[in-house]
């Protein structure tokens, strides 16, 4: 084969889908900040009800549930954030809330892993969050459950334990910005496409992880998520 590229392109990241042999190919990863009032409070912020805000992670940050990741470099305060993930299966641009759910493929449990000390330093200096949020192994995801199998988003419980001790425990009904409102709002700024993931924010109870920690999380109606933190590289 004549090589078209100077070297092999980076791999497309695929996520398993419950009940299928096919993988869901990940495009972009959008993450919502401060989408549960109690979490905003624990981080020292008031809830801003004017508009949601976002940061992104690269698709290469995806880690399948059940694995072990190395404790990441450059941090002394590595945090877990358990989240409800929306996987898009259609496109959306300037979509109304009432039409937004038509773009949804399915849902998953996710962990938005965060270098909290670097995030605080970035906030203090008014700098971007990339070092704190968009790093390797920072977006853990369970297999995706098709939307039709999950049903309506309501008061499903969302929870995370570390070494068997419950750290985060809330309800999807506590989301400040609903899933259709997030899709509608994001679609005012992006041409959303199949493959785009939205990590919808974390409830209260975020906290520090150390090497050896074992995380187990769940959302009623979805397959569980698990992760082990290995030693630093």
Could you say whether residue 196 binds Mn ion (CB under 5 A)? no
Sign of dihedral through CA atoms 11, 70, 134, 91? positive
Minimum distance between the CB of residue 31 and Mn ion, rounded to whole angstroms?
5
Could you say whether residue 202 binds Mn ion (CB under 5 A)? yes
Minimum distance between the CB of residue 87 and Mn ion, rounded to whole angstroms?
16
Nearer to Mn ion, 104 or 116 (CB): 116
Within 10 A of 214 (CB to CB), how many other CB atoms are there? Answer: 13
* Stretch binding Mn ion (CB under 5 A), from 61-69, 109-117, 153-161, 180-188: 109-117
* Stretch binding Mn ion (CB under 5 A), from 48-56, 78-86, 157-165, 225-233: 78-86
Could you say whether residue 81 binds Mn ion (CB under 5 A)? yes
Minimum distance between the CB of residue 82 and Mn ion, rounded to whole angstroms?
9
Among 26, 112, 197, 227, contact with Mn ion (rule: CB under 5 A): 112
User: Which uninterrupted H or E stretch holds 54?
Assistant: strand 54-57
3-state secondary structure (DSSP) of residue 126: coil
Q: What share of the chain is helix, strand, coil (3-state, %, to 5)?
A: 20, 35, 45
Nearer to Mn ion, 138 or 202 (CB): 202
Report the alpha-carbon distance of residue 155 to residue 107 in Å, rounded: 15
- Within residues 147-166, the interface with Mn ion by CB under 5 A covers none
Report the alpha-carbon distance of residue 131 to residue 157 in Å, rounded: 31
Q: Are 197 and 87 in contact (CB under 8 A)?
A: yes
What secondary structure letter does DSSP report for 147? H
* Stretch binding Mn ion (CB under 5 A), from 116-124, 141-149, 166-174, 197-205: 197-205
Nearest to Mn ion by Cβ — which residue? 112
Minimum distance between the CB of residue 63 and Mn ion, rounded to whole angstroms?
15
Minimum distance between the CB of residue 112 and Mn ion, rounded to whole angstroms?
3
| Total of residues contacting Mn ion (CB under 5 A) | 3
Minimum distance between the CB of residue 141 and Mn ion, rounded to whole angstroms?
13
Report the alpha-carbon distance of residue 78 to residue 70 in Å, rounded: 11
Alpha carbon 61 to chain centroid distance? 10
3-state secondary structure (DSSP) of residue 155: coil
Where do contacts with Mn ion occur on this chain (CB under 5 A)? 81, 112, 202
């Amino acid at each position: 084969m004549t090589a078209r590229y100077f070297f092999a392109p980076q791999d497309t990241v695929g996520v398993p889908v419950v009940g299928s042999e096919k993988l869901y190919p990940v495009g972009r990863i959008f993450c919502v900040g401060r989408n549960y009032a109690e979490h905003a409070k624990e981080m020292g912020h008031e809830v801003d009800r004017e508009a949601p805000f976002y940061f992104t992670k690269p698709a290469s940050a995806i880690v399948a549930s059940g694995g072990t990741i190395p404790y990441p470099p450059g941090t002394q305060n590595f945090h877990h954030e358990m989240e409800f993930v929306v996987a898009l299966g259609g496109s959306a641009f300037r979509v109304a809330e009432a039409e937004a759910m038509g773009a949804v493929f399915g849902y998953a449990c996710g962990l938005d892993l965060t270098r909290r000390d670097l995030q605080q330093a970035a906030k203090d200096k008014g700098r971007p969050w990339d070092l704190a949020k968009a790093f390797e192994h920072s977006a853990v995801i369970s297999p995706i459950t098709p939307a039709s199998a999950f049903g309506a988003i309501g008061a499903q419980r969302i929870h995370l334990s570390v070494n068997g001790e419950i750290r985060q425990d809330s309800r999807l009904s506590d989301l400040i910005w609903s899933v259709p409102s997030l899709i509608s709002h994001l679609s005012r700024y992006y041409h959303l496409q199949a493959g785009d993931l939205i990590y919808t924010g974390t409830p209260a109870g975020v906290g520090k992880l150390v090497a050896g920690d074992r995380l187990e999380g769940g959302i009623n109606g979805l397959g569980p998520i698990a992760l082990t933190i290995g030693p630093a590289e």
